[in-house]
Amino acid sequence: LSLLHPPFLLGLITGGAVIYWFTGAATQAVSTGAYRAVEFIKANIRLEGTTKASVSDSKKVVEICTQYAQKGMFNIFLTVFFSTLAFAFLEPYFFIGYLISIALFGLYQAVFMANAGGAWDNAKKIVETELKEKGSALHAATVVGDTVGDPFKDTSSVAMNPVIKFTTLFGLLAVELAVSLTATSGAALSRTLSLVFFVLSMVFVWRSFYGMRIKGGEPAVTHGAVGAVARSK
């Protein structure tokens, strides 16, 4: 194995690309769920004369967040599953580079996102508690940072660990199967299966990212539309 072997280098690049796609898709799922929850709150919850929302309204907000979280992670998992199969069946040296890249990029990306998200979160707390500037322009800026920081430190970074573990453990089994299949049935079948799995993974890439985007002009979420809106995405 040479570090300059083209399939190995391409595997290194692909693994890094998958890590950055994952962080973006996870953040997109959080953003969409949060947007829909806020949309529901603005349209249905009124706090005039009371200090807290009703239990039923609170449950609806939790339901919205849960639906989008489950939908987002379902698409992400299937993308990781099918892409692992596709790359395992493509070429063994490509897959070696892919696994190494997943581990390296995933490790440092997780550390970066955890630290960056924590820094943004702490910046808002410092402005609120130590500087006593809640409601100021500085506070508004830190709220924006905290909005990005929460999915950084609470979603994308911590979810990187199971992605690395699953890809590594499942991938080693898949590449063993691919090598055996190539030896018995030829490379054509392995390449065909790789193409099929890759196309399936691209479908879920689209669903996990572009399919989860918030489109302009959509109606606000109401009590009766909570489940329907989430299922339509």
Query: What are 171-201's pLDDT values in tens digits?
Result: 999 999 999 999 998 899 999 999 999 999 9
**Could you list the residue range(s) of the whole structural domain that residue 90 is in?**
8-232
Amino acid identity, position 165: K
Q: What's the confidence (pLDDT) of residue 51?
A: 67
Q: Are 144 and 162 in contact (CB under 8 A)?
A: no
DSSP state letters, 138-150 = HHHHHHHHHHHHH
State the helix-helix crossing angle for 6-44 and 55-90, rounded to 10 degrees: 170
Q: Which pLDDT value is given to residue 230? A: 47
In a domain, 161, yes or no: yes
Q: Running DSSP on this structure, what letter comes out for residue 224?
A: G
Query: Taking the chain, what is the end-to-end CA distance rounded to the nearest angstrom?
Result: 44
Residue 221: what pLDDT?
A: 57
Alpha-carbon gap, residue 186 to 173, rounded angstroms: 19
Burial class (CB in 10 A: 0-12, 13-18, 19+), 48: exposed
pTM of the model: 0.82
Dist CA 151 CA 23 (whole Å): 9
pLDDT at position 150: 87
The verdict on residue 3 lying in a domain is no
Domain count, the chain: 1
Q: Please tell me the predicted confidence (pLDDT) of residue 210.
A: 85
What stretches in the chain show pLDDT beneath 70? 1, 49-51, 216-233
Specify if 1 maps to a domain: no
Residue pair 141/69 in contact (Cβ under 8 Å)? The answer is no
> Does some domain include residue 33?
yes
Predicted local distance difference test score (pLDDT) of residue 44: 82
